[in-house]
């Protein structure tokens, strides 16, 4: 079966945050500004229609007509477990899977369960910006461990981290695959993180939401399989939402193999209450049961988008596109253009009329970077590239 990722959808209506929230989100614009010519490259959604089996599953919910509280999660957990084993070689007991209203809510519930106000949480920065805002809102200290850049890719510096520990750290967050930067951590790196957590008695929170977005033929290594020794201290957060473009379903998976940890998580989750989102659950089950073909097709499309993007944007003098093996979020360094950060942002947003995420939000080390979402129909991507080339045509 072939899928049409090339034809743009009409997304400037229909409550699409990525397309309709540009004016509010970009510091360079005012909220009431006309953004109708700006191509959004910020929010991590793809500009593609969801897979046919997912849409059919939603339609079946509508046709049944009953839209009450969701119950009996077991068939969804079976589907999740089937996918994790089939796609990622991770055999998960369906009984240990819990559901949250999105991965970030699962993250916050985990932080509430295992840490106290004033405790410190380790982030390898630059990293997904919402970790910062959640931790701050919850009164947790953030211990930033700067990623090193070696041969064009990020690496963790666990020796420097060990030397910088304050004693207040209670948890460490691994973003795997890494957002931004699109790096896949190798099994030996994951094992080193597990050993570090063991040595310093830290909870290991592995956010694997981008697990299904590796480029073709590149395997993803779940933390649980790369470092099974970490299971007694491991919380895995993941979802079908990124890989299948169904984030509006707000359904996160919280996988905690250790029973004691799971009990603590559940106590924290009870405070928030709530049954899973009916539509998110239907979509998750359909994605993980019948989504294989669409997933393979979208990953191939994204890899080709990245090839094109890297070929042209990476050729601009002074602009470095970080190599990536996963996600559709391309991390681009403007430091060697010699331009001030504000000048770069103005050229991108005002001159080129593209709207990437500004790098400073991802923590220290991100200041001179921008994160571009390239999950768009190829004609639109080519348009975005041409605009950026035009806005920086004076670079030598
Ligand atoms: C690493 C990471 N975690 C979590 C999320 C958001 O998850 P959710 O929308 O399910 O809360 C994102 C979104 O881009 C992400 O990149």
Domain end residue (candidates: 291, 320, 335): 291
Q: How far, in Å, CA of 100 to CA of 80, rounded?
A: 14
Domain end residue (candidates: 275, 291, 307): 291
Q: How far, in Å, CA of 212 to CA of 209, rounded?
A: 8
Query: Residue 144 contacts by C-beta under 8 Å, 6 or more apart in sequence?
Result: 123, 125, 363, 364
Does 300 lie in the same domain as 286? no
Does 139 lie in the same domain as 276? yes
In this predicted structure, the answer to whether residue 266 has a pLDDT above a threshold of 90 is: yes
> Is 234 a member of any domain?
yes
Does 262 lie in the same domain as 180? yes
Lowest mean pLDDT of 1-15, 238-252, 328-342, name the range: 1-15
In a 3-state reduction of DSSP, which class is residue 84? helix
pLDDT band at 30 (very low <50, low <70, confident <90, very high): confident
CATH number of the structural domain spanning residue 207: 3.40.640.10
In this predicted structure, the answer to whether residue 94 has a pLDDT above a threshold of 80 is: yes
Does 150 lie in the same domain as 212? yes
> Is 97 a member of any domain?
yes
> Is 11 a member of any domain?
no
What is the predicted pLDDT for the residue at 272? 81
Q: Which residue matches tokens 């924290």? A: 268
Domain count, the chain: 2
> Is 23 a member of any domain?
yes
The upper half-sphere exposure of residue 239, i.e. CA atoms within 13 Å in the direction of its Cβ, equals: 26
Does 354 lie in the same domain as 323? yes
Does 323 lie in the same domain as 378? yes
Task: Give which of 50, 37, 56 is closest to 9, Cα–Cα.
Answer: 50
In this predicted structure, the answer to whether residue 273 has a pLDDT above a threshold of 80 is: no
CATH number of the structural domain spanning residue 331: 3.90.1150.10
Ligand 1 atom with least separation from CA of 251: 10
> Is 58 a member of any domain?
yes
CA 50–ligand 1 middle distance (angstroms): 18
- What are the tens digits of pLDDT across the range 53-68? 999 999 999 999 999 9
What is the predicted pLDDT for the residue at 32? 84
Q: How far, in Å, CA of 16 to CA of 148, rounded?
A: 35
What is the predicted pLDDT for the residue at 93? 97
Domain end residue (candidates: 291, 307, 338): 291
Probe ligand 1: pick from 40, 103, 127, 329, max atoms within 8 Å of CB? 103
Lowest mean pLDDT of 55-64, 242-251, 268-277, name the range: 268-277
Q: Across all residues in the chain, what is the average pLDDT?
A: 97
Probe ligand 1: pick from 128, 177, 253, 372, max atoms within 8 Å of CB? 128
Does 284 lie in the same domain as 193? yes
CA 250–ligand 1 middle distance (angstroms): 10
* Geometric angle at alpha carbon 131, from 128 and 132, rounded to 5°: 105
Please compute the mean of the pLDDT values over residues 113-132 and round it to a whole number. Answer: 98
Does 88 lie in the same domain as 35? no
Element (H, E) at 175: strand 169-175
Q: Enumerate residues lining ligand 1, CB below 6 A.
A: 44, 102-104, 128, 175, 179, 207, 209, 239, 241, 247, 252
In this predicted structure, the answer to whether residue 227 has a pLDDT above a threshold of 80 is: yes
What is the predicted pLDDT for the residue at 195? 98
Strand ranges of the sheet holding 369-373, from the earlier edge strand across to the other edge:
39-41, 354-358, 369-373, 329-333, 320-321
Does 104 lie in the same domain as 46? no
Ligand 1 atom with least separation from CA of 106: 11
- What are the tens digits of pLDDT across the range 70-88? 999 999 999 999 999 999 9
* Geometric angle at alpha carbon 10, from 9 and 11, rounded to 5°: 100
- What are the tens digits of pLDDT across the range 341-355? 999 999 999 999 999
CA 103–ligand 1 middle distance (angstroms): 6
Please compute the mean of the pLDDT values over residues 176-193 and round it to a whole number. Answer: 97
Please compute the mean of the pLDDT values over residues 170-175 and round it to a whole number. Answer: 98
CA 131–ligand 1 middle distance (angstroms): 9
* CA distances to 95, 116, 237, 259, 266 from 273, in Å: 19, 20, 18, 20, 10
- What are the tens digits of pLDDT across the range 278-305? 999 999 999 999 999 999 999 999 999 9
The dihedral region occupied by 133, where left means phi > 0, alpha psi between -120 and 50, and beta the remainder, is alpha
Does 142 lie in the same domain as 30? no
Sign, CA dihedral 174-182-51-131, equals positive
> Is 163 a member of any domain?
yes
CA 357–ligand 1 middle distance (angstroms): 14
Domain that holds residue 339: 17-51+293-391
pLDDT band at 396 (very low <50, low <70, confident <90, very high): confident
Q: What are phi and psi of 203, to 5 degrees?
A: -70, 135
Parallel, antiparallel, or unpaired: how do β-strands 97-100 and 252-255 relate?
Answer: antiparallel
Does 60 lie in the same domain as 111? yes
Element (H, E) at 238: strand 234-238
What is the predicted pLDDT for the residue at 286? 98
- What are the tens digits of pLDDT across the range 198-216? 999 999 999 999 999 999 9
> Is 92 a member of any domain?
yes
Ligand 1 atom with least separation from CA of 102: 10
What is the predicted pLDDT for the residue at 233? 98
Strand ranges of the sheet holding 203-207, from the earlier edge strand across to the other edge:
97-100, 252-255, 234-238, 203-207, 169-175, 120-125, 141-146
> Is 335 a member of any domain?
yes
For residues 18-51, one letter each, b for 16 or more C-beta atoms within 10 angstroms of the residue's C-beta and e for the rest, the string is bbebbeebbeebeeeeebeebbbbbbbbbbbebb
Q: Are 24 and 356 in contact (CB under 8 A)?
A: no
Q: How far, in Å, CA of 88 to CA of 82, rounded?
A: 10
Does 260 lie in the same domain as 128? yes
């Amino acid at each position: 079966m072939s899928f049409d990722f090339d034809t743009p959808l009409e997304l400037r209506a229909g409550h699409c945050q990525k397309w309709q929230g540009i004016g509010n989100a970009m510091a360079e614009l005012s909220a009431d500004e006309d953004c109708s010519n700006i191509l959004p490259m910020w929010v991590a959604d793809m500009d593609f229609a969801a897979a046919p089996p997912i849409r059919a599953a939603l339609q079946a919910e509508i046709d049944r007509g009953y839209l009450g509280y969701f119950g009996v999660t077991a068939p969804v957990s079976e589907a999740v477990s089937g996918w994790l084993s089939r796609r990622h070689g991770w055999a998960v007991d369906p009984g240990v899977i819990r559901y949250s209203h999105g991965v970030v809510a699962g993250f916050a519930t985990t932080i509430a369960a295992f840490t106290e106000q004033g405790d410190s949480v380790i982030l390898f920065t630059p990293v997904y910006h919402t970790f910062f805002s959640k931790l701050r809102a919850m009164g947790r200290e953030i211990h930033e461990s700067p990623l090193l850049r070696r041969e064009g890719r990020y690496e963790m510096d666990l020796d420097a981290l060990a030397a910088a520990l304050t004693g207040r750290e209670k948890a460490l967050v691994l973003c795997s695959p890494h957002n931004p930067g699109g790096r896949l951590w190798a099994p030996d790196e994951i094992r080193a993180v597990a050993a570090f957590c063991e040595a310093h008695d830290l909870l290991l929170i592995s956010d694997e939401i981008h697990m299904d977005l590796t480029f073709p033929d590149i395997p993803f290594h779940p933390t649980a399989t790369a470092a099974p020794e970490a299971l007694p201290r491991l919380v895995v957060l993941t979802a079908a939402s990124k890989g299948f473009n169904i984030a509006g379903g707000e359904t996160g998976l919280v996988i905690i193999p250790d029973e004691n940890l799971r009990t603590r998580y559940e106590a924290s989750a009870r405070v928030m209450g709530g049954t899973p989102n009916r539509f998110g659950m239907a979509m998750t089950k359909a994605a993980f049961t019948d989504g294989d073909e669409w997933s393979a097709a979208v990953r191939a499309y994204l890899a080709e988008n990245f090839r094109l993007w890297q070929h042209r944007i990476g050729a601009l003098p002074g602009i470095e596109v970080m190599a990536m093996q996963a996600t559709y979020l391309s991390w681009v360094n403007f430091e060697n253009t010699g331009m001030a950060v504000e000048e770069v942002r103005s050229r991108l947003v005002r001159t080129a009329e593209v709207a990437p995420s500004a790098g400073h939000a991802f923590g220290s080390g991100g200041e001179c970077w921008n994160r571009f979402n390239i999950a768009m129909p190829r004609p639109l991507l080519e348009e975005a590239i041409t605009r950026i080339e035009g806005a920086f045509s004076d670079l030598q």
